Structure 1
Amino acid sequence: MARNIVVLSGPVAAGKSSLAAGLKVEYSARVVRTRLLLQERFAALHQAGDLNERRALQEFGEHLDGQDGGAWLAEDVTTVAQGDEPLVVIDSVRVLGQIEALRERFGRRVWHVHLFSSDVGELADRYDRRRTESELHELGSYRAVQENRTESEVPSLAQHADLVLDTHRNTQADILVRCAARLGLLADLDAALVDILVGGEYGSEGKGNLAFYLAPEYDLLMRVGGPNAGHQVPTPETNTHRSIPSGASANQRARLLIGPGAVISPRVLFEEFAETGVDPRRLIIDPQAMVITPEDVAAEKRLKAAIGSTGQGVGQAAARRILGRDGDRSILAEGCEDLKPFLGSARQVLAETFAAGQRVLLEGTQGTGLSLFHGQYPHVTSRDTTAAGVLSEAGISSRRVRRTIVAFRTYPIRVGGPSGPMGGKELTWEDIASRSGLPRDVIVERGSVSNNQRRVAEFDWTLLRWAADVNGATDIAITFVDYLDKENQNAYRFDQLTSETIQFLEEVERVAGAPVSLISTKFSTRAVIDRRDWRGHVLT
């Protein structure tokens, strides 16, 4: 038996069918049309006449109601509502006896929603507009409809309804959300279904490897940011993700989403599809994401020399978005012909995901130390790279967040050139090779986008504390522990790490005030020591 039965009442043209259609689309409701039930009963009686004409339909309905007070509708609904549908919508009822019979049979499953318009003239206008489109042979005017005694008394049903809505003062979308709220159909806003992964330093913290590892536990993989950040993943042939979520290949069933705050280069996106083999049909791009043009890239050439920018046009595109608010939406994804096959509302995708109780992995790019607002200006990127900034770009409330994982390298890096200061003492790659015991030619540290030789420094404990705080870290991920000691490459459990590494990780926990839940020992599919006491979904 259906768990909820929504009974709609209201004058002709009040918006009942539109609400029923909305409940069907958004909440998979089964819609039962009393007009069709009447026609079936009429045909079963082998009556002569045309029940596709409104007047005849009104009169036959009155005939049935006169026989049993409207109980016939409850009988018919019982027949069609035997399945386990979560929601059945009856469009519509016309007399109180029909509602009382339904309540008597189905009890608290029944929700009565009454629609009306405070502007009666609007009902007449709606009726005139729909007369040519209706499946019924309509009457000549709205006044003629109201001449039927039963129809004229329909407004009195409002006093018996659980919810009364004015369709003159509300849009169809407003009516739908108000009805859904009353029925308890809206997703719980406190359901914490989102886990965030952000960088705690200056980018290149190994987030791609971590996202690849975590991805199989999620239903939706989401990314924001722009193509100035490349995340490498440990596929058989190493791939770099610059737009597509990094876990796409690790979880073939997950949907992929790029949020409205993202900046997209169509050229980079299609190259990425070709390189990674990710099915483009899985990807959804919000129409309000910004598109990079060749002119944006050209405009950033000077920044490469000035601040070590990757020069991908992301900042220029963001500036153009801010300055170009003259009504021209062609600068957005919705105005790009190449991106139109991917367009879909991130808001809608997230709402559906949350309503279904599904989990989201939200992947940030770059690192907290590069935040436009919180990094050391001007040596920053063009966006806020903190967890709060990532949520803003995605359009996700902080109430949805369950875990915030902040990733740190054992030796933070910045891109080569005049890319800005680092808190720890700057080192050479020969220093790292000497300390770790790794051959120098094994340590190849170049930017995945710029290909510039990276700079490296001592671990920054002050940055660790601040980044853990500003991001609200619930978990810390530490990567490149093989740079502490090459023996860590052979560790698959925490206790197999060197004693010096364990001491380092314990101190990280004390300073950050959060557990080190994920430890990356090298770049491979089995390179993450997992110490979490939580999961997304249990893998099947």
Structure 2
Amino acid sequence: MAVTVVVVSGPIGAGKTTLAQGLARRFGALHLHSKDLLRGHGGDGSRRALQDLSVTRDRATGGRWLVEGVVAALPGQCLAVSSRANKTSRLITVDAVSSKAQLDGLRGRPGLRVVHVHLEAPEPEQALRCAEPDTFETAWAHPAERAVHELASLAELVVDTAKVPPEAVLVRVASRLGLYGRTGERLVDLVIPGLHGDVDTRPLTAQLAPHYEVLLRLGVPDPVPLREELEDAFARRHRVLIESAGTMASVCLAATGIAPGRVRRIVMVCRSEGPTFNWVGLREAASLNGPTDLALVLAGDLASTNWAARRFDQLTDAARHHLEELERVAGAPVSFLAPSPQARHLIERRPW
């Protein structure tokens, strides 16, 4: 996957550095300052001198000095990334580009996916934000600064930061980059106790956990991940398994801040002793949670006659008939079975 380079352009005081810092803080982007790259070519600290040097370097290199500086600043293997794993991609912010030649140099470099964002603001607002108000007029009148305004027509996204607050600018840019992932991807599976919650869900969770990148256990002292951490996991297409101590899937999702549209499967864990089973409770629990699968723990007489079963086809006729009725009442298949409460590994009916 190509390295993503967010190229920010815009006049003095438009909010370029604020955006770059936001991408670095929230998404771990590498923040590169063009002024630092210019200082490597002998520029002193004044804005006017850096503007002059930018124009000089553009003429001498056709604008390639910027992309050469960006590539030199990247980690050694940053351009040699795998197209098979999102986690190997990199995010770079260039703060800022000031000419079409610089932009063309970045766009023409193999291995870079360039996204150009142009920020603008009215001149009075720029003057108020400028860190060097005494030199603003001089810097603003420089040909290099005047040429920046022409870059708006080349950008994928143009934002007026006088009308849009910094956090909204960050959200718009991150959405353009696809950093939040696809909202409709169903990456979350829930494990919840059915009926009155008097069943141990831990054996099922332990068996399923290796299939997931993220495991949340609600109802234990461990802190729930921040919404941003979950968003990052979804952006990487990481699968999430949630084990809930409560018996309602909707409450579980509200506690974690996960949208229902993210949920792929809801596994409801039940314990059954056969004739004394609470059929009314099962129906109510299924109606509230809409399980896609059931995990059943056999107890009592059913456990004593089926404890040695290692496959579904080894169950007694009575047990099979009981499972079939459970499935009809709950409207979901029994996908996992513990032949006794002491069983530490559940039988899987189909690959998970």
Instruction: Answer whether TM exceeds 0.5 for this pair.
Output: yes
Is 1:346 the counterpart of 2:346? The answer is no
Out of 203, 217, 223, the residue aligned to residue 284 of structure 1 is: 223
By how many angstroms is 1:175 displaced?
A: 1.2
Deviations 1:130-159 (A, max 9, x none): x3xxxxxx5624223213221133222112
Aligned equivalents of 1:78, 1:400: Cα separation in 2: 38
Tell me the matched-pair count: 341
The answer to whether the Cα contact below 8 Å between 1:465 and 1:512 also exists between their aligned partners in 2 is: yes
Match for 2:250: what amino acid?
Answer: A
The answer to whether the Cα contact below 8 Å between 2:58 and 2:64 also exists between their aligned partners in 1 is: yes
Is 1:83 the counterpart of 2:78? The answer is yes
Aligned equivalents of 1:157, 1:366: Cα separation in 2: 55
By how many angstroms is 1:524 displaced?
A: 4.3
The answer to whether the Cα contact below 8 Å between 2:2 and 2:112 also exists between their aligned partners in 1 is: no
By how many angstroms is 1:361 displaced?
A: 1.7
By how many angstroms is 1:482 displaced?
A: 4.6
Give 1:18's aligned residue: 18
Deviations 1:84-122 (A, max 9, x none): 3533322111112221233334598222110112x4333
Cα gap change, 1:106/1:208 in structure 2, threshold over 3 Å: closer, same or farther? Answer: closer
Out of 471, 496, 503, the residue aligned to residue 289 of structure 2 is: 471
By how many angstroms is 1:165 displaced?
A: 1.3
Give 2:168's aligned residue: 174
Deviations 1:435-455 (A, max 9, x none): 9xxxxxxxxxxxxxxxxxxxx
Give 1:112's aligned residue: 116
Match for 1:52: what amino acid?
Answer: G
By how many angstroms is 1:500 displaced?
A: 1.2
Cα gap change, 1:485/1:67 in structure 2, threshold over 3 Å: closer, same or farther? Answer: closer
By how many angstroms is 1:388 displaced?
A: 1.9
Deviations 1:224-274 (A, max 9, x none): 4xxxxxxxxxxxxxxxxxx32xxxxxxxxxxxxxxxxxxxxxxxx5xxxxx
Give 2:101's aligned residue: 97
Q: Which has the higher relative contact order, 1 or 2, with Cα contacts under 8 A spaced 6 or more apart?
A: 2
By how many angstroms is 1:69 displaced?
A: 4.1
Cα gap change, 1:527/1:106 in structure 2, threshold over 3 Å: closer, same or farther? Answer: closer
Is 1:206 the counterpart of 2:200? The answer is yes
Aligned equivalents of 1:92, 1:388: Cα separation in 2: 45
By how many angstroms is 1:525 displaced?
A: 6.2
By how many angstroms is 1:407 displaced?
A: 1.8
SS of alignment partner, residue 40 of structure 2: helix
SS of alignment partner, residue 109 of structure 1: strand
Aligned equivalents of 2:53, 2:35: Cα separation in 1: 10
User: Which structure 2 residues correspond to residues 176-255 of structure 1 after superposition, within 5 A?
Assistant: 176-224=170-218, 243-244=219-220
Aligned equivalents of 2:160, 2:343: Cα separation in 1: 57
The answer to whether the Cα contact below 8 Å between 1:481 and 1:519 also exists between their aligned partners in 2 is: no
What runs of 5+ residues in structure 2 fail to find an aligned partner? 80-88
By how many angstroms is 1:179 displaced?
A: 0.8
By how many angstroms is 1:24 displaced?
A: 2.6
SS of alignment partner, residue 195 of structure 1: strand
By how many angstroms is 1:167 displaced?
A: 1.9
Aligned equivalents of 2:137, 2:71: Cα separation in 1: 34
Match for 2:124: what amino acid?
Answer: G
Q: What is the TM-score when the length of structure 2 is the normalising length?
A: 0.86
Deviations 1:184-211 (A, max 9, x none): 2321112211111223211213323333
Cα gap change, 1:110/1:216 in structure 2, threshold over 3 Å: closer, same or farther? Answer: closer
Q: How many percent of aligned residue pairs carry the same amino acid? A: 38
The answer to whether the Cα contact below 8 Å between 2:62 and 2:101 also exists between their aligned partners in 1 is: yes
Aligned equivalents of 1:347, 1:75: Cα separation in 2: 37
By how many angstroms is 1:499 displaced?
A: 2.6
Give 1:370's aligned residue: none
Give 2:27's aligned residue: 27
CA RMSD of aligned residues (A): 2.7
Cα gap change, 1:163/1:366 in structure 2, threshold over 3 Å: closer, same or farther? Answer: closer
Out of 306, 330, 333, the residue aligned to residue 512 of structure 1 is: 330
Give 1:51's aligned residue: 44
Cα gap change, 1:11/1:479 in structure 2, threshold over 3 Å: closer, same or farther? Answer: same
Give 1:408's aligned residue: 270
Give 1:125's aligned residue: 128
Match for 2:102: what amino acid?
Answer: Q
By how many angstroms is 1:483 displaced?
A: 4.6
What runs of 5+ residues in structure 1 fail to find an aligned partner? 43-49, 132-137, 225-242, 245-268, 270-282, 286-344, 368-385, 412-434, 436-456, 535-540
Aligned equivalents of 2:229, 2:68: Cα separation in 1: 38
The answer to whether the Cα contact below 8 Å between 2:2 and 2:111 also exists between their aligned partners in 1 is: no
Match for 2:94: what amino acid?
Answer: I
The answer to whether the Cα contact below 8 Å between 1:206 and 1:479 also exists between their aligned partners in 2 is: no
